């Protein structure tokens, strides 16, 4: 009797697997088509200085709305592209778009771009990244690449080599989702980073949970000692922003400062939040207003 139930379960289970495989193959095909027909987009979320609220740069985030499937999260389609072996194609398209968009921003703003773990194991990543930046005319010193602890730990030797190559080009490296990965702090000694992004899980618990507060405090202290910049991810309220600033966290990112926006909305955001940019733009558009004429 139990055997029959067992067999029944196996049948159900395998048909679920078959269904899941059909679904992900359909998703894969739709995603490949979307990349080829230029329907995968990139949005930008501001990263600000917590002390004065000034925008320092933006993180590029992949966006895909399929006509049949609707909104598909990058947390779903990025891993799918990795699994099916076309993450380089997806990532190159996204980096090119992001770098091109960034050219319209003030030059002192950085672009932060997520590198997938597969790319951190692929020796061609440095060359591919550089050729895209060159063809767009993008200064590598404006680029930050976000990588995760897990990616670094999975293929440590290759990852360390790629990180060093990228840093030699002037590209900075951010450790994303810090505190949630499977690294040991000791192993992090083998890698050189420029910035740490504290995961949203700690940030969203900070007002209610003393443990998260202590963890953030410890990360900030560690980063000060190692001369690393710190960004808190997922800040949603003014109270969280203030608390993080008081804990010594230098930069912040989250819905409180701005949600991910398309390029047009990003330019409007800069207009409203980046004084010098608004001035420049007014001049370019020939708008009237007080203006110093240096020629006479
Ligand atoms: P991530 O790199 O940690 O990106 C931050 C995620 O947190 C984004 O989700 C962002 O929209 C979300 N977020 C930012 N502020 C807040 C907030 O205040 N509250 C809440 N609830 N969420 C906030 P998103 O865009 O869905 O991306 C999810 C993940 O997908 C990213 O996590 C990243 O790992 C991956 N991803 C996104 N775009 C790319 C890409 O172009 N390439 C690669 N390789 N991965 C990407
Ligand atoms: Mg990120
Ligand atoms: Mg993150
Ligand atoms: Mg995250």
- Reduce the DSSP state of residue 207 to 3 states and report it: coil
Q: What is the pLDDT along the chain (296 residues), one digit of tens a residue?
A: 444 555 555 566 677 888 887 778 999 999 999 999 999 999 999 999 999 999 999 999 999 999 999 999 999 999 999 999 999 999 999 999 999 999 999 999 999 999 999 999 999 999 999 999 999 999 999 999 999 888 888 878 899 999 999 999 999 999 999 988 776 677 777 788 999 999 999 999 999 999 999 999 999 999 999 999 999 999 999 999 999 999 999 999 999 999 999 999 999 999 988 875 555 555 554 444 334 334 33
- 70-72 and 110-114 beta bridge pairing: unpaired
Structure tokens of 262? 């398309």
* pLDDT given at position 21: 77
Distance CA 214, CA 206 (A): 9
Please choose, from the candidates 47, 101, 55, the residue with its C-alpha nearest in 3D space to the C-alpha of residue 255: 47
User: Is any ligand 1 atom within 6 A of the Cβ of residue 35?
Assistant: no
Is the Cβ–Cβ distance between 61 and 42 less than 8 Å? yes
User: Is any ligand 1 atom within 6 A of the Cβ of residue 144?
Assistant: no
Atom of ligand 1 nearest to the CA of 73: 26
SS3 content of the chain, % helix, strand, coil (to 5): 55, 20, 30
Closest Cα to atom 13 of ligand 1: 234
Q: For residue 211, how far is its CA from the centre of ligand 1 (angstroms)?
A: 24
Rg of the chain over Cα atoms, rounded to whole angstroms, equals: 22
User: Is any ligand 1 atom within 6 A of the Cβ of residue 46?
Assistant: no
Distance CA 121, CA 129 (A): 14
Which runs of E-coded beta strand occur in the chain?
40-49, 55-66, 70-72, 110-114, 143-148, 172-178, 195-198, 229-232, 251-253
Place of tokens 């558009």: 285
Please choose, from the candidates 65, 103, 67, 82, the residue with its C-alpha nearest in 3D space to the C-alpha of residue 24: 82
Atom of ligand 1 nearest to the CA of 75: 30
- Reduce the DSSP state of residue 283 to 3 states and report it: helix
* Residue 225 exposure: Cα atoms within 13 Å on the Cβ side: 7
Atom of ligand 1 nearest to the CA of 61: 38
* pLDDT given at position 278: 55
Torsion of the alpha carbons at 265, 268, 274 and 280, rounded to the nearest 10:
130
H or E segment and range at residue 29: helix 2-36
CA dihedral sign, ordered 112, 113, 116, 117: negative
Atom of ligand 1 nearest to the CA of 255: 18
* pLDDT given at position 296: 34
- Reduce the DSSP state of residue 2 to 3 states and report it: helix
Could you give the ipTM of this predicted complex? 0.98
User: Is any ligand 1 atom within 6 A of the Cβ of residue 76?
Assistant: no
- Residue from 86, 114, 255 whose mutation best tests the ligand 1 pocket (most atoms within 8 A of CB): 114
User: Is any ligand 1 atom within 6 A of the Cβ of residue 75?
Assistant: yes
Closest Cα to atom 21 of ligand 1: 234
Atom of ligand 1 nearest to the CA of 260: 11
Q: For residue 260, how far is its CA from the centre of ligand 1 (angstroms)?
A: 9
Q: For residue 75, how far is its CA from the centre of ligand 1 (angstroms)?
A: 8
């Amino acid at each position: 009797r139990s055997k029959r139930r067992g067999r029944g379960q196996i049948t159900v289970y395998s048909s679920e697997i078959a269904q899941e495989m059909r679904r992900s193959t359909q998703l894969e095909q739709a995603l490949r088509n979307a990349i080829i027909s230029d329907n995968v987009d990139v949005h930008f979320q501001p990263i600000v200085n917590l002390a004065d609220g000034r925008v320092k740069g933006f993180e590029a985030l992949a966006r895909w709305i399929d006509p049949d499937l609707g909104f598909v999260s990058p947390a779903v389609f990025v891993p799918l592209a990795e699994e099916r072996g076309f993450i380089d194609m997806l990532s190159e398209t996204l980096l090119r778009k992001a770098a091109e968009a960034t050219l319209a921003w003030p030059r002192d703003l950085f672009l932060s771009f997520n590198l997938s773990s597969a790319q951190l194991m692929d020796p061609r990543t440095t060359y591919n990244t550089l050729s895209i930046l060159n063809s767009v005319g993008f200064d590598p010193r404006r680029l930050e690449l976000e990588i995760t602890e897990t990616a670094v730990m999975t293929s440590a030797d290759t990852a360390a080599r790629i990180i060093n190559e990228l840093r030699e080009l002037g590209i900075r490296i951010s450790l994303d989702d810090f505190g949630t990965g499977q690294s040991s702090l000791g192993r992090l000694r083998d890698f050189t980073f420029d910035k740490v992004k504290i995961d949203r899980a700690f940030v969203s618990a900070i007002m209610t949970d003393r443990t998260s507060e202590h963890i953030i405090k410890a990360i900030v202290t560690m980063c000060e000692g190692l001369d690393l910049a710190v960004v808190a991810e997922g800040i949603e309220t003014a109270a969280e922003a203030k608390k993080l600033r008081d804990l010594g966290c230098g930069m912040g990112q989250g819905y409180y400062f701005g949600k991910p926006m398309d390029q047009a909305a990003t330019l409007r955001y800069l207009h409203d939040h980046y004084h010098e940019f608004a001035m420049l733009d007014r001049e370019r558009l020939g708008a009237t207003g007080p203006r110093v004429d240096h020629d006479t």
